[in-house]
Amino acid sequence: MSDLPVSKPTAAGAIASRLSRTLGVCAIFTVITPVCADPRAVVELFTSQGCSACPPADKVLGELAQDPSVIALSLPIDYWDYLGWKDTLADSRFSARQKAYSHARGDRGVYTPQAVVNGTTNVLGSDRAGIENAAKRTQNTEGVMSVPVTMTQSGGQIKISVAEADGRSGEIWICAVSKAVPITISRGENRGQQITYHNVVRNVLKVGDWNGKAGSWTVPLENITRDGVDAAAVYVQDGNRDKPGPMLGAAFKSLN
């Protein structure tokens, strides 16, 4: 994961964020279509095309992706590639992220399919009820998903605005997402199956650090787009890449 060259927070972004919280509507930018988002949970599914237990979890993630209050992301890992099928979507950075979550929790809970809910709780990825319960529990944790985040697209740029939250800080990351990727698996534990993977993260880039003050950042669209990418997710997370903490806020947007 690499840092992005982006603009510094602007006064306009701070004003828009305060307006958003005051009026309960999306921040408004000239010639930009705003995205209203009030998500209650970010669900990250660590999955693998080579894992026979994963297809039911991939299906659950697809169902969660239809819920506008959930930002559901599929992060394919690569450590099962030796089983006879190399995952065509896997990224070693996702394997590292899963391990970082385990270290932050202080356990050895690294497996597939594993869902991490709001950066704090891990659940069997095929257990939808467990994921829903984890989302409810983590919402009661102070600070979790409490920071309003908006994301807008204008021409060749994405603008990210984060509201003020005194006493909070974290990192801002943006994910390039492919909303639906059908894969035919010809070897390994899932040989003969065609599986559609939903909201697959194809790239992750750090936008910047957030110090609790309202601000906005601009990301060139060319920095995240590639073949098949048709959406973006942005999240503000406590901690850092090596020790990720609770999700503080997030937004999701289909790209034009």
pLDDT digits (tens, 9 = 90+) for 32-43: 334 444 799 999
pTM for this entry: 0.85
Structural domains of the chain, count: 1
The candidate with the shortest Cα–Cα distance to 158, out of 72, 21, 252, 227, is 252
Domain that holds residue 217: 2-254
Low-confidence stretches of the chain (pLDDT < 70) are 1-37
The CA–CA distances, whole Å, from 163 to 16, 42, 69, 209 equal 9, 18, 19, 13
DSSP state of 147: S
What's residue 209's pLDDT? 97
Angle in degrees, 0-180, between the axes of helices 55-64 and 128-139, rounded to the nearest 10: 50
